[in-house]
Chains A and B, each alone.
Chain A
Amino acid sequence: MDPVRVAVVGAGVMGLSTALCISKLVPGCSITVISDKFSPETTSDVAAGILIPHVYPDTPTHKQKQWFRETFDHLWAIANSADAREAAVHLVSGWQVYRSISTEVPFWADVVLGFRKMTEAELKKFPQHVFGHAFTTLKLEGSAYLPWLEKRVKESGAVTLTRRIEDLWELQPSFDIVVNCTGLGSRQLVGDLEIYPVKGQLLKVQAPWVKHFIRDGSGLTYIFPGVSNVILGGSRQSGDWNLTPDAEISRDILSRCCALEPSLHGAWDIKETVGLRPYRAGVRLQKELLARDGRRLPVVHHYGHGSGGFSMHWGTALEAARLLNECVQALRTPAPKPKI
Chain B
Amino acid sequence: MRVVVIGAGVIGLSTALCVHERYHSVLQPLDLEVYADRFTPLTNTDVAAGLWQPYLSDRGNQQEAHWNRQTFDYLLSHVHSPNAASMGLAPISGYNLFHEAVPDPSWKDIVLGFRKLTPRELDMFPDYSYGWFNTSLTLEGRRYLQWLTERLTERGVRFFQQKVESFEEVARGGADVIINCTGVWAGALQPDPLLQPGRGQIIKVDAPWIKHFVITHDLDRGIYKSPYIIPGIQAVTLGGIFQLGNWSEVNNSEDHNTIWEGCCRLEPTLKDAKIVTELTGFRPVRPQIRLEREQLCFGSSDTEVIHNYGHGGYGLTIHWGCALEAAKLFGQVLEERKLLRMPPSHL
**Chain A interface (Cβ within 8 Å of chain B)?**
80-82, 84-85, 88, 90-93, 113-114, 116, 118-119, 121-122, 125, 134, 136, 207-212, 225, 227-228, 258, 262-263, 265-266
B269 at the interface (CB under 8 A from A): yes
Nearest B residue to A134 by beta-carbon distance?
B113
Q: Does B322 contact A (CB under 8 A)?
A: no
Which residues of chain B have C-beta atoms less than 8 A from A88's C-beta?
A: 209
Closest to B82 in A: A265
Residue interface bits B180-208, CB-to-A below 8 A is 1, else 0: 00000000000000000000000000001
Distance between A323 CB and nearest chain B CB, rounded to angstroms: 31
Chain B residue numbers with a CB within 8 Å of A212 are 91, 93, 135, 211
Closest to B268 in A: A82
Number of A-B contacts (CB under 8 A): 92
Q: Is B83 an interface residue (CB 8 A)?
A: yes
Q: Of B80, B84, B85, B209, which is within 8 A of A90 by CB?
A: B209
> Does B124 have its Cβ within 8 Å of any Cβ on chain A?
yes
**Contact assessment for B209 and A84 in the assembled complex, using a CB-CB cutoff below 8 Å:** yes
Contact A114 to B115, CB < 8 A, known contacts A85-B269, A262-B80, A263-B82: yes
Neighbouring A residues of B84 by C-beta, 8 Å: 209, 262-263, 266
Contact between B85 and A263, CB atoms less than 8 A apart: yes
Sample of 15 A–B contacts (CB below 8 Å): A85-B209, A85-B269, A119-B112, A121-B112, A122-B112, A125-B91, A208-B234, A209-B85, A225-B211, A227-B209, A263-B80, A263-B83, A263-B84, A266-B82, A266-B84
Q: Complex: how many Å from CA A159 to CA B328?
A: 74
| Bound form: Cα–Cα A81–B271 in Å | 11
Nearest CB on A from B128, distance (A): 14
Q: Which 10 A-B pairs have the closest CB atoms?
A: A265-B82, A209-B90, A90-B209, A263-B84, A211-B211, A209-B85, A93-B93, A209-B233, A84-B269, A227-B209
Q: Which residue of B lies closest to A126 (CB)?
A: B80
Which of A82, A93, A114, A210 contacts B90, CB < 8 Å? A210
Contact B118 A262 (CB under 8 A): no
Interface size on B, residues (CB 8 A): 35
In the complex, what residues of A have CB within 8 A of residue B208's CB?
208, 227-228
Flag whether B65 is at the interface (Cβ < 8 A): no
Residues of A close to B112: CB separation below 8 A: 119, 121-122
- Chain B residues within CB distance 8 Å of chain A: 79-86, 90-93, 112-113, 115, 117-118, 120-121, 124, 133, 135, 138, 208-212, 231, 233-234, 268-269, 271-272
Tell me the smallest distance from the CB of B315 to a CB of chain A, in Å: 21
Contact among A90, A125, A134, A227 for B79, CB-based, below 8 A: A125
Complex contacts, A227 vs chain B, CB 8 Å? 208-209
Q: Bound state CA distance, A265 and B112, in angstroms? A: 24
- Of all chain B residues, the one with the shortest Cβ separation from A93 is B93
A125 CB contacts on chain B under 8 angstroms:
79-80, 91
Inter-subunit contact A266/B85 (CB<8 Å): yes
Known: A81-B268, A266-B86. 18 other contacts (CB 8 A): A80-B268, A82-B271, A88-B209, A91-B212, A93-B93, A93-B135, A93-B211, A113-B120, A114-B117, A208-B233, A209-B85, A209-B234, A212-B93, A262-B82, A262-B84, A263-B82, A266-B82, A266-B84
